[in-house]
Amino acid sequence: MNSQKIKELHIEMRVLAGRLRREMGWQPVDSVKVTSIIRAKKILTVYKPLEDVDFSGMAIRTSAKHEDSSNLFMLINTSQAIGKQRFTACHEFYHLLFQRDFSYSSNSAGKFDLSNEEEYKADVFAANLLLPMSGIEDMVPIEQMRLNSITLETVLKLEQHFGCSRAALLRRLKSMHFIDSSKYEEFSIDVITGALENGYDASLYRPDKRNMVVGDYATKARTLFENGRISGTRYRELMAELGLENTNVQNQQ
């Protein structure tokens, strides 16, 4: 993609993310409530620890009609840190709610890979949804808005407030010219130690390995099978692997 195309893409994703935030009743400074979007858009979502820690998640749309939001599925790998899980969910929201002619995506969110336009758009959308520029600007002290003036205390305040990974926040701060590459590297070191030393809970930076289903799992898993999106074997495996008798299942109703 050329520079003009990338610029247009960033504008489009910023607009779409802003629209979703406003639809949910959130201001730019508000933190995204992932499960609120999941419930509002009726997305069957499975949170599950997977052996492949580099795999972020997947999304499936079982209906060919973009406006039909009744058959949406998302899987989030809880073997990754909570902050990364939230970015992955926002990444998948783009595929499920905005991408035309979408049926399936399986990925590692956050790569910002320019060779795959839709995956790049999903990452840019997630960054704008989780970390709106105006929301960040409202929380950064005016004296820290010069290049490389932002402090670790402010970085911690931002990522804890917005519920994002350090990598996602630093990429955002760099794109907004708050930091350069050297400061990016400096803030990337000893993330958990820095959080603990400044009195923050470090759970955001660690995996929780939870098993949780948000939505009517049994019904929608059956729909995936009946629409040929998953095999009978995979359908049975999903039901068995999730161990629903020991899983926190939340209905949309």
For the chain, the average pLDDT equals 89
In this predicted model, what pLDDT tens digit does every residue of 105-136 receive, in sequence order? 887 899 999 999 999 999 999 999 999 999 99
- Nearest of 33, 9, 8 to residue 21 by alpha carbon: 33
Q: What is the pLDDT of residues 179-200, one digit of tens each?
A: 999 999 999 999 999 999 999 9
HEC-encoded secondary structure of the chain: CCHHHHHHHHHHHHHHHHHHHHHCCCCCCCCCCHHHHHHHCCEEEEEECCCCCCCCEEEEECCCCCCCCCCEEEEEECCCEHHHHHHHHHHHHHHHHCCCCCCEEEECCCCCCCCCHHHHHHHHHHHHHHCCHHHHHHHCCHHHCCCCCCCHHHHHHHHHHHCCCHHHHHHHHHHCCCCCHHHHHHHCCCHHHHHHHCCCCCHHHCECCCCEEECCHHHHHHHHHHCCCCCHHHHHHHHHHHCHHHCEEECCC
Of the two residues 2 and 244, the one the predictor is more confident about is 2
Question: What's the pLDDT at 243?
Answer: 53
Kindly indicate the confidence band of residue 253, based on its pLDDT and cuts at 50, 70 and 90: very low
At residue 160, the pLDDT reads: 98
Best CA proximity match to 187, nearest among 207, 205, 201: 205
Mean pLDDT throughout 138-144?
Answer: 97
Percentage of the residues of the chain whose pLDDT score is greater than 70: 87
Q: What is the pLDDT of residue 228?
A: 80
- End-to-end alpha carbon distance in the chain: 43
Q: What is the structure's pLDDT at 34?
A: 97
Dump pLDDT digits (tens) for 17-33. 999 999 999 999 999 99
